[in-house]
Structure 1
Amino acid sequence: MSSQFPIIVAIVPLLAAPICALFRGTTLPWAITTIISGITFYVSIQLMIAVIQGGPISYELGGWAPPWGIEYVVDLLSGFMLILISAISTGVLLFSRESITREVPDHQLGLFFAAYLLALTGMLGICITGDAFNVFVFLEIMSLSSYALIAMGANEDRRALTAAFQYLIIGTVGASFYLIGVGLIYMMTGTLNIADIAARFPEIEGARPILAAAGFIVIGLAIKLALFPFHVWLPNSYTYAPSIITAFFAGTATKVGVYLLIRFIFTVFGVNYSFGGLELTDILLPLAVLGFLSMSVVAIYQTNIKRLLAYSSVAQLGYIILGIALASESGLMATIVHIFNHAIVKSGLFLSVGCMFYVAGSVYLKDLHGIGRRMPVTTFGFVLGGLGLIGVPLTPGFISKWYLVVASIEHGGVIGYGLVALLMVSSLLAVIYIWRVVEVAYFRDIPEGAEKKEAPLSMLVPTWLFIAASFYFGIETTFNVGIAKATAAFLMGGS
């Protein structure tokens, strides 16, 4: 059975999705989805253990040897992503039993969980497939289900439909760019296998179609991962989607886009071509800096906590891309560490906000006066998560920013030290937008008639699991930093 784990991790949620669609009500589709997600988490852990012990795993679909057949590959980077996606999915689903009944009508819950499993399938498939066209297939599975999941938030706010439509249009443009790039590469190499493309790439890297292909792929993936200034679809999508979808996507969807960007830059194109021929540092570095500075400023002025955290996510993606742009092993390691750390912290924060919405019926700051005294356990969890975004010592945000600072100093010169200063400024901006929530929660009077009660325990426990995990990985960094360091060395070595 363990030899089939690479296919099981993607096929099990895919097969379970239509089963969920047959049921109405909450209990059965929720239970099926949670169990399936838990299975993918277990399988992902086993795959990672196998990779650590024996090296990368190659799985041939249908007995067709690559590059002729489709290949699934699990290495340190893909195994790391499989664990992250399945872990966040399972934690969010444990939270969803109570919250989703508030936000999605009963007759839509079967379809909701079916779409959720399809989104999970797409994310896991993107990370495990070794075929460039198969990436597009899984990308569309993830995207189409994502549009539906966001639109289901229209039960609470009709603007969810507009957000889903906007995401559909922009997401389709990004996917089309990616597909055009893959088509040009196929025209030049005659193969879609990622490892085979990488092996043949040095022979054709000077050709103009390859330059165009690289441009299409990088821009397409930048749109998909919501890199500034291609982020316009993200704030509305996060704001109006159901709470558990916002938490799930904040921790996984954009990270999958970053994974693909890393895979193409460091595995397919190679470090020398990406940062020599394409000069990606000159493109990605200013976009990363503008992203984490401008989006942090925009977050300060938001009146909706979900929207505030959404702009914060775009800013945090700036940190992630900064590590890639530095074109060094330490920079790439900082990127991979922050992918993991930010996913855990932001999922916990959005689940905290989901608890507030469940009780207070709103996530607008004007409706949350005194929420720190009305919901002390929930609000304290939010504050602790906010410390992680700021980068206070003993939190994962501090670990990420520390390695970004180290990578910036290693870069040297005016640019390197200037980046350190800008990272400090961005952290101060994070203090301001987190403090806005703290000020409303603890220093405003409780409105008359507002009840003091917490969210159900079934929602609080998963929320605090994420908050506790964030502090654990901010102190015990063996897994996140250890895997990131080994992965960065592997990718920079070109092996």
Structure 2
Amino acid sequence: MDIHLPILLIVLPLLAAPLCVLIGNRRIAYAISLGVTWCVFAISVALMSEVSAHGPVRYNIGNWAPPYGIEYVVDGLSGFVMLFVSALGAIVLTYAPRSIDEEIPHSKHYLFYATYLLCLTGMLGMCVTGDLFNVFVFLEISSLSTYALVSLGRSRRAPLAAFQYLILGSVGATFILIGIGLVYQMTGTLNMADIAARLPVDHGPRTVLVAFAFLTSGLFIKMAVFPVHTWLPNAYTYAPSAVTCFIAATATKVSVYALIRIVFSIFTREFAFEVLPLDTALMVMALVGIFAASIAAIFQDNVKRLLAYSSIAQIGYMLLGISMANHVGLTAGIVHMFNHALIKGGLFMVVGCFALRIGSVQIADWRGAGRTMPWTSFAWAIGGLGLIGVPLTAGFISKWLLLTAAFDSHHWSVAVLMLLSSLLAVVYVWRVVETLYFAEPSKKAKNAREAPLGMLIPMYAVIVATVVFGIWTAYSADLAAGAAATLLGGTP
């Protein structure tokens, strides 16, 4: 059984999704999906333990050896991303029932659970596949599922947000597919390890450059990098709260993973950062995105939209780490994927609790809620500290590593700009804290009561994790450092 864990990771949620539709009962569908997500997390833990102990795990589909068959590979990087994606997928689904009872019609619940499982399948498939075309297939499985999940929002603007996401996502997918086609034309293979060995990146044809441009541009759209981020604010704002928790914590991180894998494992660091000036381009895009999105977040009255713009800024920090192209910078970018997944997943869970009890995600309606919903409000304060990057939180670890990488690379101006950008995060986080604790209660907040335990416990599991991994950094930072060393051609 152990040797089949990589395929079980994909097959279990993939088969459970249509089963939920066939059964058509929302309670049975929830039981199936919850059991499957926790099983998938257990498989991820077992695979990561195997990778840590014995190195990468490889699985040949149908016993066809690569490059003729499709190979699944779990290494330090893919295992790390797979681990936190599956963990948050299980925790968010544990948190979700009360929230979706309020926001999604009961008749559509079984469809929600089926689509959620398909979305999780796509993200995990992107992590473990060693086949470049399979990356595209799994990316589209997760994207199409996300469009459907966003459209389930109770606002009439949810289908429009999903349609806008669909249009931009399809453009990104087309770019990625064209890039894959050009790579296949040059190498005659789709296995990523085989492509890396055959791709003529040194003085090769101009097609290499064109393929690289299409692949990276398509992934930038999927990652919501500024300025091709316009699908994200509406998608996060109008999707059901549980959906926003899940996709905000995972979707863009998996696209960042795909970018790292393509840049460092296929096209190589030398081609991207020495032959091409990708480091400068990424650094400029990252810094502009951080400041533009952070400033936009300050002026939002809708907390979901505020956090959506914050996510765009945080993606900038991940890009900033990648742009350094050194061990510390890449480690910072990878570990920030994990830290931001925890922080933003936890904060959107807080928003879901307020949405349930207050019935609004407008800052004005949250006035004084610190008195009537103290546990939920305190969770916002802790998560907000992590988002700012205060010491003893996970967000601090990422920013400290980024600062270290900037100093090592002699990018003093980048370090100063990073510190200034953190002050912008203080402003938009403090706006909400001030509203919760230092304002007269609004009518909605005065009549509110604390969120149910079924939501508080999963939410605090994630919020407390942001503190735990801010103090105990050995696990997350060491895994990220090992993955970065492997990507840069060293030993983990």
Q: Which stretches in structure 2 are left out of the alignment for 5+ residues?
A: none
Amino acid at match of 1:366: A
Displacement, 1:54? 1.1
Q: Deviations over 1:277-310 (max 9, x none)?
A: 2221121110000011111000000000010000
Q: Secondary structure at the match of 1:65?
A: coil
Q: Deviations over 1:409-454 (max 9, x none)?
A: 0111xxx111111111111000000011011111111134731411
**Aligned twin of 1:88:** 88
Q: Secondary structure at the match of 1:59?
A: strand
**Aligned twin of 1:242:** 240
Residue 213 of structure 2 is aligned to residue 215 of structure 1: yes
Residue 10 of structure 2 is aligned to residue 14 of structure 1: no
Q: Secondary structure at the match of 1:73?
A: strand
Specify which of 301, 304, 311 is matched with residue 303 of structure 1.
Answer: 301
Displacement, 1:374? 1.6
Displacement, 1:203? 6.2
Amino acid at match of 1:139: L
Residue 37 of structure 2 is aligned to residue 37 of structure 1: yes
Amino acid at match of 1:426: S
The answer to whether the 8 A contact 2:76-2:483 is kept is yes
**Aligned twin of 1:427:** 422
**Aligned twin of 2:288:** 290
Specify which of 417, 434, 440 is matched with residue 412 of structure 2.
Answer: 417
Amino acid at match of 1:467: I
Q: Secondary structure at the match of 1:130?
A: coil
Displacement, 1:472? 0.3
Residue 432 of structure 2 is aligned to residue 437 of structure 1: yes
Residue 268 of structure 2 is aligned to residue 273 of structure 1: no
The answer to whether the 8 A contact 1:26-1:101 is kept is no
CA RMSD of aligned residues (A): 1.1
**Aligned twin of 1:104:** 104
Q: Decide whether aligned partners of structure 1 residues 361 and 188 sit closer, same or farther in structure 2, where only a CA change above 3 A counts.
A: same
Specify which of 313, 317, 320 is matched with residue 318 of structure 2.
Answer: 320
Displacement, 1:63? 1.3
Q: Separation in 1 of the partners of 2:367 and 2:276?
A: 51
**Aligned twin of 2:115:** 115
Specify which of 480, 483, 490 is matched with residue 484 of structure 1.
Answer: 480
The answer to whether the 8 A contact 1:22-1:110 is kept is no
The answer to whether the 8 A contact 1:384-1:467 is kept is yes
**Aligned twin of 1:455:** 451
Q: Separation in 2 of the partners of 1:25 and 1:96?
A: 17
Q: Which stretches in structure 1 are left out of the alignment for 5+ residues?
A: none
Displacement, 1:200? 1.1
Residue 338 of structure 2 is aligned to residue 343 of structure 1: no
Displacement, 1:57? 1.3
**Aligned twin of 1:366:** 364
Residue 136 of structure 2 is aligned to residue 130 of structure 1: no
Q: Deviations over 1:117-153 (max 9, x none)?
A: 0000000000000000111111111111110000001
Q: Decide whether aligned partners of structure 1 residues 60 and 448 sit closer, same or farther in structure 2, where only a CA change above 3 A counts.
A: closer
The answer to whether the 8 A contact 1:159-1:240 is kept is yes
The alignment's TM-score, normalised by the length of structure 2, stands at 0.98
Q: Separation in 2 of the partners of 1:152 and 1:132?
A: 31
Amino acid at match of 1:468: V
Q: Separation in 1 of the partners of 2:278 and 2:214?
A: 13
Q: Separation in 2 of the partners of 1:42 and 1:435?
A: 37
Amino acid at match of 2:54: G
Q: Separation in 2 of the partners of 1:83 and 1:23?
A: 29
Amino acid at match of 1:446: P
**Aligned twin of 1:70:** 70
Displacement, 1:22? 2.5
Displacement, 1:23? 3.7
Displacement, 1:26? 3.4
Q: Separation in 2 of the partners of 1:254 and 1:63?
A: 32
The answer to whether the 8 A contact 2:226-2:285 is kept is yes
Q: Separation in 2 of the partners of 1:127 and 1:44?
A: 11
How many correspondences in the alignment? 490
TM alignment of 1:376-387, pairs within 5 A: 376-387=374-385
Residue 178 of structure 2 is aligned to residue 180 of structure 1: yes
- Percent of paired sites with the same residue: 52
The answer to whether the 8 A contact 1:26-1:97 is kept is no
* Greater displacement, 443-452 / 466-475: 443-452
* Greater displacement, 23-32 / 296-305: 23-32
The answer to whether the 8 A contact 2:175-2:215 is kept is yes
